[in-house]
């Protein structure tokens, strides 16, 4: 009796977590330490450049702004106030909200390297009484120069004049080179050096058309760091990526490892063409790598509200925040989750068939019933509905599921019981 009791205790004891998941990532160097990591949210500017996006109401923008703070966003682009009167008004209202609610978000606004674009940013900052960073951008690649009939002397003149104007009017400046990932090193060096000498204290390296790969990103950031070092100034480096080759998150992680300190992204990756780096994916990966400790329990709501406001649906299989991210109707997978829950170990149940814990983002594992389901799925769903899962009921629902071509909803599950 004593021996069998001890055996039972051993089988029900919860093992050390590190014994249950062997982490090959820790051996590959992907988990290496990085410095301070900050996040700049572009949802309300670059995200709205998606051809499918609607410009949300100011009420929706304010809600999104508060949700940004709830997930630990450090700074946000409020828009491009020179674009229209509505844009200017919305930027001002968002800046007032940051001031009045003491939000932990530093505002910035986009502008071409044109005085007429920069003036409204300075005016709004003065009216609201808080500094608004001027993110002045200019195309830098040879292909852009050729298309526009530009030359390096024109780029330097516009960059120096724009940065100096903003700095002289008391505005902090982030100097942004578009298409940096397709620009020769000598052009990159000359533009950044000129901007820094004119007073920019933050520069942004951009993969505007999603051209880069992680090795290229690491080489580029290393080069930019050497350029900054030669100026002798304390200048931060941002990274801004796009998803044209579906490498946005991977490239951004590479940039942070290489020495960039602030990463740009948008809610569920909304943006021009194929979109920007998905902020939700970036945050969850940085959290899992141990680079940040942000509370991400509101991450799904942040994406959901942005999706509804912008009018672009989140794909059902979008990692972490898609409706199917923690949902299974497969018998074998569901059985493993159910058995883990039966052990009374939520940590186990949340990881046995999930590389991302649902609880980390305020969600739960979901067991559904469909054509690929087993009896355990049905038993689980019936219990969730408050129905005793006796053998006849389980058989009736399972038979209906096997005949279906989709996941059964609660109404269909109950209907199967009536038919039986």
pLDDT tens sequence across 171-213: 999 999 999 999 999 999 999 999 999 999 999 999 999 999 9
* pTM of the model as a whole: 0.91
- Cα 106 off chain centre by: 18
CA gap 124, 385 in Å, rounded: 54
pLDDT tens sequence across 23-39: 888 776 555 678 899 99
Main-chain dihedrals φ then ψ at residue 372, nearest 5 degrees: -100, 10
Question: In which residue are the tokens 């080069």 written?
Answer: 223
Percent pLDDT > 90 in the chain is 88
pLDDT tens sequence across 277-328: 999 999 999 999 999 999 999 999 999 999 999 999 999 999 999 999 999 9
Q: What is the DSSP string of 88-147?
A: HHHHHHHHHHHHHTT-S-EEEEEEESSHHHHHHHHHHHHHHTS--EEEEEEE-SHHHHHH
Residue 357 has pLDDT above 60, yes or no: yes
Residue 5 has pLDDT above 60, yes or no: no
Q: What is the pLDDT of residue 4?
A: 33
Classify the C-alpha dihedral 153-157-158-163 as positive or negative. Answer: positive
Main-chain dihedrals φ then ψ at residue 240, nearest 5 degrees: -130, 115
Question: In which residue are the tokens 């300075």 written?
Answer: 122
Residue 86 has pLDDT above 60, yes or no: yes
Question: What is the separation, in whole angstroms, between the first and last Cα of the chain?
Answer: 45
Residue 7 has pLDDT above 70, yes or no: no
Q: What is the pLDDT of residue 96?
A: 98
Q: Look at residues 169, 275, 153, 258 and name the one whose alpha carbon lies nearest to residue 205.
A: 258
Q: What is the pLDDT of residue 3?
A: 33
Number of residues assigned to the chain: 420
pLDDT tens sequence across 219-232: 999 999 999 999 99
Residue 238 three-state SS: strand
CA gap 131, 108 in Å, rounded: 9
Q: What is the pLDDT of residue 31?
A: 55
Query: Domain 35-310: what homologous superfamily?
Result: Aldolase class I (3.20.20.70)
CA gap 256, 182 in Å, rounded: 19
Q: What is the pLDDT of residue 394?
A: 94
Helices 279-288 and 248-258: crossing angle in degrees, nearest 10, is: 50
Q: What is the pLDDT of residue 16?
A: 75
Q: What is the pLDDT of residue 269?
A: 98
Q: Is 71 exposed, middle or buried (0-12, 13-18, 19+ CB in 10 A)?
A: buried
Residue 235 has pLDDT above 70, yes or no: yes
pLDDT band at 344, cuts 50/70/90? confident
CA gap 243, 391 in Å, rounded: 50
pLDDT tens sequence across 96-148: 999 999 999 999 999 999 999 999 999 999 999 999 999 999 999 999 999 99
Is residue 387 within 8 Å of residue 416, measured between CB atoms?
no
pLDDT tens sequence across 57-82: 999 999 999 999 999 999 999 999 99
Q: What is the pLDDT of residue 15?
A: 64
Q: Look at residues 250, 283, 251 and name the one whose alpha carbon lies nearest to residue 70.
A: 283
pLDDT band at 159, cuts 50/70/90? very high
Domain with CATH 3.20.20.70 in the chain: 35-310
What's the mean per-residue pLDDT of the chain?
93
Residue 8 has pLDDT above 70, yes or no: no
Residue 9 has pLDDT above 50, yes or no: no
pLDDT band at 83, cuts 50/70/90? very high
Is residue 376 within 8 Å of residue 414, measured between CB atoms?
no
Q: What is the DSSP secondary structure assignment for residue 77, as one 8-state letter?
A: E
| Angle, CA 132 vertex, CA 129 and CA 136 arms, to 5° | 150
Q: What is the pLDDT of residue 32?
A: 66
């Amino acid at each position: 009796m004593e021996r069998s009791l001890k055996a039972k205790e051993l089988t029900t004891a919860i093992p050390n977590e590190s014994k249950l998941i062997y982490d090959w990532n820790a051996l590959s160097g992907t988990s290496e330490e990085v410095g301070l990591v900050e996040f700049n949210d572009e949802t309300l500017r670059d995200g709205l450049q998606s051809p499918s996006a609607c410009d949300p109401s100011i009420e929706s923008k304010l809600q999104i702004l508060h949700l940004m703070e709830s997930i630990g966003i450090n700074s946000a682009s409020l828009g491009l106030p020179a674009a229209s009167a509505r844009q200017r008004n919305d930027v001002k209202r968002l800046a007032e909200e940051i001031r009045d609610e003491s939000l932990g978000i530093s505002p910035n606004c986009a502008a071409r390297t044109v005085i007429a674009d920069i003036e409204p940013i300075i005016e709004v900052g003065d009216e609201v009484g808080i500094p608004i960073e001027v993110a002045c951008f200019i195309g830098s690649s040879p292909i852009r120069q050729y298309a526009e009939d530009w030359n390096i002397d024109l780029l330097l003149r516009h960059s120096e004049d724009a940065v100096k104007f903003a700095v002289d009017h008391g505005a902090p400046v982030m100097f942004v080179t578009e298409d940096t990932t397709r620009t020769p090193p000598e052009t990159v060096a000359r533009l950044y050096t000129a901007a820094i000498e004119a007073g920019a204290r933050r520069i942004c390296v951009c993969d505007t058309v999603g051209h880069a790969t992680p090795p290229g990103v690491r080489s580029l950031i290393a080069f930019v760091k050497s350029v900054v070092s030669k100026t002798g100034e304390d200048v931060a480096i941002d990274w801004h990526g796009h998803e044209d080759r579906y490498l946005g998150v991977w490239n951004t992680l590479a940039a942070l490892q290489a020495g960039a300190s602030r990463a740009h992204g948008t809610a569920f990756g909304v943006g021009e063409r194929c979109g920007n780096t998905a902020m939700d994916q970036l945050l969850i990966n940085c959290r899992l790598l141990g680079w940040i400790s942000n509370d991400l329990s509101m991450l799904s709501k942040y994406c959901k509200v942005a999706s509804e406001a912008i009018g672009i649906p989140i794909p059902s299989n979008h990692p972490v925040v898609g409706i199917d991210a923690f949902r299974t109707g497969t018998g074998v997978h569901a059985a493993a989750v159910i058995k883990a829950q039966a052990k009374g170990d939520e940590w186990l149940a949340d990881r046995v068939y999930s590389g991302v814990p649902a609880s980390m983002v305020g969600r739960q594992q979901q067991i559904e019933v469909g054509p690929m389901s087993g009896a355990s799925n049905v038993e689980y769903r019936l219990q969730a509905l408050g129905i005793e899962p006796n053998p006849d009921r389980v058989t009736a629902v399972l038979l209906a599921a096997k005949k279906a071509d989709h996941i059964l909803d609660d109404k269909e599950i109950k209907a199967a019981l009536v038919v039986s």
